[in-house]
């Protein structure tokens, strides 16, 4: 009976109850959806960090970690890889030669990390082969000698890109409703070649106006960028014996990830070719990368590898990229802190609402106690009313949030036009896919119930202090 009475009491003053419920809906929706966006961003960053940059586990000569010198190698790499491949949960393994050097073209030069790889094995461990830009060639070709794959950001630095809207590009953009309002203006730029991104940006601003160029420029540049494939890049570095080695490589592929700092630094060449130039033996490498079937096995597998090769340094992905590990460990903590702040604010609103409800019903509560309802039942009734208010608002808020997270989790929130370059500079994708686990919803439900209970204490105590005989004499 108390449950039924409490539920009916919530709706005695519909406007006041609806105000609190709506506040809960907006509070829960705003808080949970914001957290879902951040969780999605962090998960995407971790996926990219593992998939492209670090893999789950890496092995190095301990001396290599101190100063990245070529001489600190892992010997007998093929034999060690064969042993690691037989461990449970190991999906793929590859070795790399890592050399700090300089990449030069006739247009510019830049410091790079030269990655000497076996292309076929690298495909199984990292996603670089799947990150080749549209029109950016391929991830190596067995018939090409002295070939190199570089990042798009490095290609821009080395003056290996230009911008030109071809008739084919214009036809493709005409079929996209996105460009409907500006397609005529874009047509005036067809077949005009722009050497740099800055030149193309100025041309777009002159043609479209500043506002339209800002809105459409990012995507127009994606359609219009062209790569100078087959151009030569000279790589120079210090070989194993200390002499300056250099050789020319032809660009066969250009990749693009969501981390421009990674793209501008890392180039990929065939390990057989670079080892010969660097005077390394065929079985020597500087790094062995291990991809697992699941992230949850990284610690146990790393311990197993340490027992096999105690002389080598064995690191998991969160040790290699501590900032990515911090994202993974801290998101649940941030979720709780964020929701506690929101629910704390909503809790004060509930206290105010329920206190008003108690003060308006002093005579009624006094009558209930006079006819035999004990104070515990009065306390429980007030508490139930408060919890009902919170649960109704929270249930609707979480339902709306769940539906929106489900929808945008499939389509994503595309912020690339506004923040694409800025996000990629710090290693994040501006095309965000919100994400929340069922456990997060359970935690929030618990926090809502806890908020309702805590918020009910003061109004309920106020009701308990009523003297039945005095309360009945109050003229309401």
pLDDT digits (tens, 9 = 90+) for 408-428: 989 989 888 778 778 888 888
Residue with tokens 């009734």: 381
Looking at the predicted structure, is the pLDDT value of residue 159 above 90? Answer: yes
pLDDT tens digit sequence for 431-474: 899 988 777 777 777 777 777 777 777 776 766 665 555 545 55
Give the Å distances, CA to CA, from 154 to 48, 54, 57. 19, 20, 27
Tens of pLDDT, residue by residue over 360-400, are 666 666 666 666 666 677 777 777 777 787 788 888 888 89
Tens-place pLDDT, residues 68-98: 889 999 999 999 999 999 999 999 999 999 9
Q: Tokens 């989790």, residue?
A: 409
Report the interhelical angle of 322-360 vs 438-464 (nearest 10°). 30
pLDDT digits (tens, 9 = 90+) for 33-76: 888 888 888 888 888 889 898 899 999 999 998 888 899 999 99
Which pLDDT does position 361 carry in this prediction? Answer: 63
Q: What is the pLDDT of residues 187-200, one digit of tens each?
A: 889 999 999 999 99
Show the tokens assigned to 436: 């929340």
Confidence of residue 290 (pLDDT cuts 50, 70, 90): very high
Per-domain boundaries in the chain: 2-48+324-473
Residue range 266-286: mean pLDDT, rounded: 93
**Per-residue pLDDT, 429:** 86
The percentage of the chain sitting over the pLDDT mark of 70, rounded to a whole number, equals: 90
Assign residue 55 a region (left: φ > 0; alpha: ψ between -120 and 50; beta: otherwise): left
Considering the chain, what percentage of its residues have pLDDT values greater than 90? Answer: 42
| Average pLDDT of the segment spanning 286-307 | 93
Cβ–Cβ under 8 Å, residues 150 and 132: no
Average pLDDT of the chain, as a whole number: 85
Query: What does the alpha-carbon distance between residue 13 and residue 470 come to, in Å, rounded to a whole number?
Result: 25
SS3 26: helix
pLDDT greater than 80 at residue 355: no
According to the model, what pLDDT value does residue 61 have? 94
Residues whose CB falls within 8 Å of the CB of residue 5, separated by 6 or more in sequence, listed in order: 381
Paired strand residues for 447: none
pLDDT at 15 (0 to 100): 79
More confident residue, 238 or 24: 238
Statement: residue 335 has pLDDT above 90: no
Q: What is the pLDDT of residue 238?
A: 92
Per residue in 317-329, pLDDT (tens digit) is 988 888 776 776 6
CB atoms within 10 A of CB 311: 8
Got the DSSP string for 341-355? HHHHHHHHHHHHHHH
d(Cα 131, Cα 152) in Å, to the nearest integer?
Answer: 10
């Amino acid at each position: 009976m108390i449950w039924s009475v409490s539920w009916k009491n919530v709706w005695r003053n519909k406007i006041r109850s609806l105000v609190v419920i709506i506040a809960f809906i907006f509070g829960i929706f705003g808080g949970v959806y914001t957290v879902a966006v951040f969780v999605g961003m962090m998960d995407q960053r971790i996926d990219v960090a593992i998939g492209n940059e670090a893999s789950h586990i890496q092995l190095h000569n301990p001396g290599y970690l101190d100063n990245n010198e070529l001489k600190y190698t892992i010997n007998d790499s093929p034999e060690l890889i064969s042993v690691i491949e037989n461990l449970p949960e190991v999906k793929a393994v590859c070795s790399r030669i890592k050399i700090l050097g300089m990449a030069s073209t006739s247009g510019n030069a830049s410091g790079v990390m030269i990655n000497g790889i076996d292309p076929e094995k690298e495909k199984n461990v990292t996603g670089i082969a799947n990150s080749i830009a549209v029109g950016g060639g391929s991830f190596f070709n067995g018939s090409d000698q002295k070939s190199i794959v570089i990042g798009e950001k490095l290609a821009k630095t080395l003056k290996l890109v230009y911008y030109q809207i071809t008739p084919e590009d214009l036809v493709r953009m005409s079929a996209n409703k996105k460009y409907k309002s500006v397609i005529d203006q874009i047509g005036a730029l067809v077949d005009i070649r722009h050497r740099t991104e800055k030149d193309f940006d100025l041309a777009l601003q002159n043609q479209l106006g500043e506002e339209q160029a800002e809105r459409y420029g990012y995507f127009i540049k994606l359609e219009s960028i062209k790569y100078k494939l087959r151009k030569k890049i000279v790589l120079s570095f210090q070989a194993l014996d200390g002499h300056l080695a250099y050789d020319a490589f032809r660009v066969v592929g250009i990749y693009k990830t969501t981390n421009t700092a990674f793209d501008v630094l890392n180039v990929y060449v065939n390990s057989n070719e670079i080892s010969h130039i660097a005077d390394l033996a065929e079985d020597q490498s500087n790094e062995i990368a291990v991809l697992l079937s699941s992230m949850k096995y990284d610690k146990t597998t790393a311990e197993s590898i340490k027992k096999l090769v105690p002389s080598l340094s064995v690191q998991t992905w969160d040790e290699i990229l501590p900032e990515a590990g911090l994202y993974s460990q801290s998101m649940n903590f941030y979720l709780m802190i964020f929701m506690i702040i929101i629910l704390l604010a909503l809790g004060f609103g509930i206290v105010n609402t329920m206190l008003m409800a108690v003060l308006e019903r002093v005579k009624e509560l006094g009558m209930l106690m006079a006819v035999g309802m004990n104070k515990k039942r009065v306390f429980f009734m007030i508490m139930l009313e408060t919890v009902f208010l919170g649960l109704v608002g929270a249930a609707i808020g979480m339902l709306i949030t769940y539906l929106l997270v489900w929808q945008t989790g499939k389509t994503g929130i595309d912020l690339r036009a506004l923040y694409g370059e800025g996000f990629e500079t710090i290693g994040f994708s501006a095309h965000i896919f919100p994400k929340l686990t069922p456990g997060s919803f359970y935690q929030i439900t618990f926090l809502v119930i806890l908020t309702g209970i805590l918020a009910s204490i003061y109004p309920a105590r106020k009701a308990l202090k009523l003297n039945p005989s005095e309360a009945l004499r109050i003229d309401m």
